[in-house]
Amino acid sequence: MRLRDLAGIDSDSDVTCVSIDHRRVAPGCLFGAFEGARFNGEDFIPEAIERGAVAVVARPGVEVPGAALIADERPRRRFAELAARVMAPFPGTAVAVTGTNGKTSTVEMTRQLWRMAGHRSASIGTLGVTTSDDQVSTGLTSPDIVTFLSNMAGLKKLGISHVAYEASSHGLDQYRSEGVPVAAAAFTNFSRDHLDYHQTMDSYFAAKMRLVDEVVAADGTAVVWTDDPRSGEVIEHVRRRGLKLLTVGRAGETIRLVSQTPSPLGQVLVLSHEGGKEQKLALPLIGAYQAANVLVAAGLVLATGGTWATTFTGMGRLAPVRGRLERAVITPAGAPVYVDYAHTPDAIEAAIAALRPHVEGKLIIVFGAGGDRDQGKRPDMGRVASRLGDVVIVTDDNPRSEDPALIRAEIMAAAEGAIEVADRRAAIGRAIEVARKGDIILLAGKGHETGQIVGDRVLPFDDAEVAREMAA
């Protein structure tokens, strides 16, 4: 594509690639130069041009000797728009999910429901890029814009027609998941997280609302879980934008959750679609909050042309999502060990609520808090765990550059009666050692992750694998 056709610049130069990493610039590239938390991409403009960049997207006034400047007050957004035009085509149907918790499960369940309806589908998020044939890890909920668009274009080449992706607050704020037409947006819930980045809850919420306010197509649909304290505000955003609204939950009009009852292998839901007759669904997933994820996923399928009959049948055949209340092993004493990605106070409370109906003895919780992340949530996590758990073991969870002992101390200060075991392997071993038949062990925080980040190293560590080793 010629630069004049791409950006209206008087140049016959061909744009053949896009990059935000100067080291990956090749002749004909469009280079995005942005200010970041650690580096300023503007500092690498000369090197990008030397490598062959024909144009640079940056702030007004930035010097770009030897290449065209595409100036914009929001260069990340402008770059995403242009990069998408260069890298298209993409799958014809894309939906995005935002919220503090439940994004990963919801996009993966949406993928599964689409597949059962006969569509070639994929999900993109914390678990990576998942299709029915493969899974590739990206390492981030929202990868950089070039990786995101490259993934989307690659899925199109594979014949994927439907994609559901996670829209994190960081990704939305930094325009990391733009450029692909979004047919439907979904909201799961909202609670404290990422205040190290957003500073305030209002700023965090505003970042989430970009999905509804700007990203989803003007003629698109919003699926809203009704039973969150901020759901009403989300619905106001939807109505102001003029989007079609589908609501799901106990107060839902599209799918109403009439009741839910725990069962030995999951739960039984009673649902009503569009005010119709009540139907009983045997959902093969443990946890009350999983019902929320399932219904939001079902709403997205309905928003993209799915039928209620096919979607309802598919919900009863959903498979568990990796690291989301995943049963890793049963200890020699007969206590099941569940692994969950819960790493906020709200998520830990939800995981505990999910398992509590199945506990005959004690609920044993092992968790920690990540370093270089929102410090204010640590005592809240300790408070929730000690209030709702029976045995609480505080350990390490990706301390990164912080002193692990200080992180644990901040949790322990509010975790009355908790036990401190620094080494995570030893903590899991301790939980398995004290567990008896009728107890349940919850390993919270790492979920699907396969590494423990200490300093600048990533050490191999998988909660599920370690639990199986310690229980052998």
Q: Which residues are annotated as a binding site for ATP?
A: 99-105
- What is d(CA 415, CA 139) in angstroms, rounded to the nearest whole number? 31
- What is d(CA 170, CA 375) in angstroms, rounded to the nearest whole number? 17
Q: Which parts are annotated binding residues for meso-2,6-diaminopimelate?
A: 373, 397-400, 445, 449
SS (H, E, C) the chain: CEHHHHHCCCCCCECCEEECCHHHCCCCEEEECCECCCCEHHHHHHHHHHCCCCEEEECCCCCCCCCEEEECCCHHHHHHHHHHHHHCCCCCEEEEEECCCCHHHHHHHHHHHHHHCCCCEEEEECCEEEECCCEECCCCCCCCHHHHHHHHHHHHHCCCCEEEEECCHHHHHCCCCCCCCEEEEEECCCCCCCHHHHCCHHHHHHHHHHHHHHHEEEEEEEEEECCCCCHHHHHHHHHHHCCEEEEEECCCCCEEEEEEEEECCEEEEEEEECCCCEEEEEECCCCHHHHHHHHHHHHHHHHCCCCHHHHHHHHCCCCCCCCCCEEEEECCCCCEEEEECCCCHHHHHHHHHHHHHHCCCCEEEEECCCCCCCCCHHHHHHHHHHHHCCEEEECCCCCECCCHHHHHHHHHCCCCCCEECCCHHHHHHHHHHHCCCCCEEEEECCCCCCEEEECCEEEECCHHHHHHHHHC
Of 405, 408, 403, 401, nearest in space to 385 by CA: 408
Q: Which parts are annotated binding residues?
A: 99-105, 168, 174, 176, 373, 397-400, 445, 449
Residues contacting 197, CB < 8 A, separation 6+: 169, 170, 173
